[in-house]
Structure formats: structure tokens, C-alpha cells
Structure 1
Amino acid sequence: MSSTAGLILTCKAAVAWEAGKPLIIQDVEVAPPKTMEVRIKIKYTSLCRTDLYFWESKGQTPLFPRIFGHEAAGVVESLGEGVSDLEVGDHVLPVFTGECGDCRHCRSDVSNMCDLLRINSVRGVMLADGQSRFSINGEPVNHFLGTSTFSEYTVVHSGCVAKINPLAPLDKVCILSCGVSTGLGATLNVAKPERGSSVAVFGLGAVGLAAAEGARIAGASRIIGVDRSSKRFEEAKKFGVTDFVNTSEHDRPIQEVIAEMTNGGVDRSVECTGNIDNMISAFECVHDVCQ
């Protein structure tokens, strides 16, 4: 058992008090984990555009004060009652799309949208008791996506924790908890391109590069990166991208450009920007008959 188990810990955290206003690094009290919860000492955390999106709070329900962050790696500091699959000292990744292991989605081979732990961007409290584990001078601070990794310590549901090999460098694998697994998983587990096939990847940010890597691993022979910045092509080549289309250089629908490049369209496409126009292009650039 950890020497700090059961104690309220004081640590530094980056707290967002208002939408779009600078985060403030300050002392935060972190309560011990309750039933089916884990307290993690965060070693490394990265910044995802999703954090920025909810920090700006444009089009979402504002929920402040709040501790953002969801791409991270750390070490288990203490366990709440009922947690049996983790131990103090385990190296872990917090995961915002958790799995209870018992619901219909967790038992399904085609879905992981857990009934209990699926993404809920407007919940700022823990499920066990409807309260926050963060506070400043006795006043609660909201959680974010059940992870809140912009804090030296955080408390998450045990179903939102992935145990990893202790030899894995935490400063590198922290992005596996979001960007890499999202893009790589979408390609390998959903798109499932066949060896020798063609794949279009829309958006060459972290998620898009991971999607391209997934296509490369699957053995795709042609991987077309689509982005509005030509500077990204050189880096994308390292992840298997063979061709590049700059959307800003064409005055006709990009799906037509890709169809022309590929004699009717690609075998698979992966959209990694969240832009509706790109979604349409990604759908329409795939050929409609077997080739």
C-alpha cells in the first residue's frame, strides 16, 4: 500500500477558470479514490486539440473551473475499494473512453461505447458519488472527460485505466491514450485496408499520421495524404504516405481529384479533421464498385 493512500494530496495543476482565459498553475487538493477509482501520479501529459476546443467553449456548455487534459502517462499511487486488476506502482495510461467490461457494448466485438464510461463532456464529477475529487480552498473543481491530466495527481475510474509495460518510456507513450490509438485503431480495426489497397487520409495532424501508419502496417500500397499545408507531406512520408493532395491548390471537389488519381477512387478513406466538408469528400472519394 502507498504511504499516501487515503490522504488528501496537495499538488500543482493547470486550472481553467474561464473560457479562453489563460490556465493558472496553482495548488489543488486531490482527494483519495473511492469505490472503483484509481489515483494516478501523472508523469507526462500532452496537449490535444480537444482540450483547446473545450477550453475555448465555443458551442459547448461551459463548465468552469476545470482541469483539462486526457493524453497522459503515469503511475498508480493508490486504489479505491473494489479495484482488483491494478496495483500501486503500475505504469498506466488514463483513457477517456473507458470500459466497464460488463455492459452490452463492452461485450460486443463491434463497439466500445460503454454504457457506463462512454465519453461525457459535460460531466465534471465522478460516478461513484457525483462529486469532484479536486478542490481549491474547499471549493470543487470540475473534472474533464474523466481524466483531467493537467494535474500532478488525478483520480479516474478504474475502467478508464490501461496498464502498460513498465519499460515503455512514459514521455513517448503518453500520446497513445488518445491521438495514436484513435488514428491507428480507426484504420486497423474499422477501415481494415487489405494488403496492396489504396487509402486516403484526410488531415495529417497526430491522428492522421497515426491513421497513415495503420494503413502502412496493414500493407496498403498507396496512401494519399490530404491536407491544406504542404509542409506536412515530408513528415507524413515517415508514416507511409506516398502521395499528397493540398486542398487549397484545387478549385474543384477533392474527391474528384482523388478519383482521377486512382482510376475511380480509393479502397478506403479515413477522415481525421472533424470537418463536415472533409467528411463528405472522404466518403465520396471511395470507389463505389469492386475493382
Structure 2
Amino acid sequence: MGKLGDGRAIAVKQLSVASRQGKSQFVAEIATISAVQHRNLVKLHGCCIEGAERLLVYEYLENKSLDQALFGQRSLTLDWATRYEICSGVARGLAYLHEESRVRIIHRDVKASNVLLDADLVPKISDFGLAKLYDDKKTHISTRVAGTIGYLAPEYAMRGHLTEKTDVFAFGVLALETVSGRPNSDPSLDEEKLYLLEWAWHLHENNQEIELADPKLIEFNEEEVKRLIGVALLCTQTLPSLRPSMSRVVAMLCGDMEVSTVTAKPGYLTDWKFDDITSFVRTDEATKGTDTSHYTSSSSTSIVAEAEHLSRNGKPLLHDLVGEGR
């Protein structure tokens, strides 16, 4: 955390993967991202460049990340109304990036640790639009996979096919985590509850969705819990065409549109098993010498999926400075 000359609190992020862009390209990209402003997006004030170093200057968010509030050992308590509004706010932010912003942006790494909370617990999506700042290799978008295992849509994880529906899938997982107060994979739980998507679908099939609600919640609105779970299951459908747009998600959460009946089980985690949920890596000769702790660039459409723990590279990240683990 730091302060600008006018007293505004800031958080500084040092890019952990060297950008191949020149200074002018980098500054132009930052200017574009800085112009994208919405109540539910973290504001990027600007950047600092010195030699090969690339620093990003963000607004500082007092209540840190959603994953810390949900899964961490913190005193911050999120009641049901706050959780529902957090999901609605994230949905509005993504809808803006996908459909309303002058520059269409696909986040590619929507997850609880990339949702920050301000003093009033208003959710703000962080790290949007950063993909181009990490590596500027001339690689087709369908051969590059970025993201975190457990949140990756099947068509993206398996074929590298990236659309806005990739973010929609990740939002669905995030919504289920917010309802349940648990991460998308928890090896400490019984096998039937190990994978959140599988457990949520099992409860849905048996008309027991309410059991997914976080036991730490003193009270909650049952209708809203069922609505949010229904939306989440729609968002995590295997086929992208069956997932709603984020603007439709917003309408369903606001009650302006009925939640469609879910008839098919969610995808990805029901078909692929992993020993760890921290990261997703595509490996081949193109990845040698590349820092895969954030993402791996690949020239092959064949896939080798494995989970490995992210290694700290010793450089301060925005998450470190605001107390957010990555």
C-alpha cells in the first residue's frame, strides 16, 4: 500500500511475467485499460516504467479479496444479502466488460481472489485486461490458455477456445463458492462433496439446493439461494451456447427474468479430476523458459493438464500488497 501526492491510497502490482511490448505499446495498452471504468471494476490509475520493470498503480481496496472473506481466517463476516449483492455486482462488472465497454474485454481469470471488496463491501473485479501485458508473442488466441483450475470452462481448458462464455463459466463457479462459503475443490470433505460443481448438481437433482448454503450464515433468503444456484448451474453448462450472457445473468439475479430450468449437469469438473486446484498448465516445447505460474503459452492444441502449486517468484504482486493470496 502507498499514497499518491493527493493522499489517495494505492496498491502497486509488479508484473510477474516480462512483457515483450515496447514502452509506447505498453503505455498505450495501460491508457486503454485505464479508460474502462465501472463501479464494479478496480480502477487502474496508471503505470510506472523503469527499464524492464512494469508497475501498475491501482486504487486500494480496504477489505481485500473475496476469497479471504469466504475461506480465510478473517473477522470479516458476509451475510446473505451482502453475498447476493457481491455476485450481482460481479455480474454487472463482467457484463460491462463483455457488452458495454468501448473495448471488449474477456477477463480470462475470474475467481474469488480477483474480486476485491471496498470499505462498503462493494465488489470490484481486478486484473481485467492484463493478458496482453504479459506476453506479446504472435500466438493465436486459441492456442493460449490462462486461468486457474477449477474455474476453467471445458472448451477453453481442452481446446483453448476463448469467448465471453469462458468468463460466464468461471462466474458460475464463483457464485457457488459464494453461496457455500467453500472453494470449488476441498480434499478435506467426503468424496461426494469434494468437487463443488458435482455436489451442487447432486443437491439440485434431489431438490435439496438449500443444503449448499454456508452453515456460517445465520439466516438467508431461500428463494435467492435457489435462484443464485440455478443461475450458477446455467453458467457452468458444458456447451457454451447453453450458458447465458452476463447481461442475462444480471437480469435473472435482479428478478427481471425467470431462471431457465437446468436439465444438464455442469461440465469440466465432472469429467476431469485433479489433485490440486491451484493452477492449470499446458506443457510442450513452447513453454520452456516461460514462467507458468500465471499462464503458459502453447503452440499445440493437444493438452496436458496437471495441477501444480504456484511458486512465488520473489516479486511483490498487488495481491501481496493488499494481503491477498494468489
Compare the two structures and name the one with the higher helix fraction.
Answer: 2
The structure whose Rg is larger is 1
- TM-score by length of structure 1 reads 0.24
Compare the two structures and name the one with the higher strand fraction.
Answer: 1
Higher RCO (C-alpha 8 Å, min separation 6): 2
- TM-score by length of structure 2 reads 0.22
